Amino acid sequence: MRVYLQQDSSAHTFSQQLLDIGNGQIPIDPATNEISFSQDFCQMQSNIQAVVDKVFPNLTINYKNSNWLYEPAILAPKNDDVNKLNDQIQLKLPGEEINYKSIDTVMDEEQAVDYPVEFLNSLEPPGMPPHILKLKIGSPIMLIRNLNAPKLCNGTRLIIKKLLPNLIEATIIGGKFKGEDVLIPRTPMFSNNLPFEFKRLQFSVRLAFAITINKAQGQSLTIAGLMGIAG
């Protein structure tokens, strides 16, 4: 995690606290095997809904402001947690939710009998969007593949402007190309992390209210919620 000081004295304290945690310099409670955060490090919440409300206050109004929507995100360790959070938060937005289903095929035709389409649809390998992509106009999304560098790269965040059958029109909300409208097509993606190779034709995006800690690398966030792992 990078901390930009920007003449903020509290940022220096925060960055030092991060270093102390990473270097194992925070005392561990032998009874619970846990560490305790100081009150000025973060604000603990009792449940995940409280985290959502804290990170995205007045979402139904503020989501129309692209500058505001670029600042917050909730970080979680696993894709399953991220998917549930994104679906939950997106439901708060007005408008119709559009479902886009991928086309999944096995690359080796001789293996098609062994791996039916229903099984392929259930897979969600790293770096691939889900079989059913649920989207709404106004939702933030993140590219998970390079489409047109340097404008559309892995990690670029955008806001959905229009949803068409085979195109997503979206506005880039950060970086050098902030404010530019772009068209995102369905693209073929291949998985090599399984005993067989298959192709998924889908939009190479994910919702970005919540993102995995891994995908948060290189992102700039003003407000970050962190979802932990229950012991």
Task: Give pLDDT, residue 231.
Answer: 40
Q: Region 172-188: what's the mean pLDDT?
A: 95
Q: Given this model, what pLDDT does residue 10 score?
A: 67
Rg (CA), the chain: 20
For residue 7, the model assigns a pLDDT of 55
- Return the domain boundaries, the chain: 9-35+47-226
Residue pLDDT, tens place only, 12-65: 776 777 787 778 878 888 888 877 777 666 777 778 889 999 999 999 999 989
pLDDT (tens digit per residue) in 121-173 = 999 888 899 999 999 999 999 999 999 989 999 999 999 999 999 999 999 99
Which of 208, 195, 98 minimizes the C-alpha distance to 216? 208
Average pLDDT, the chain: 87
What pTM did the predictor assign? 0.83
3-state secondary structure of 83: helix
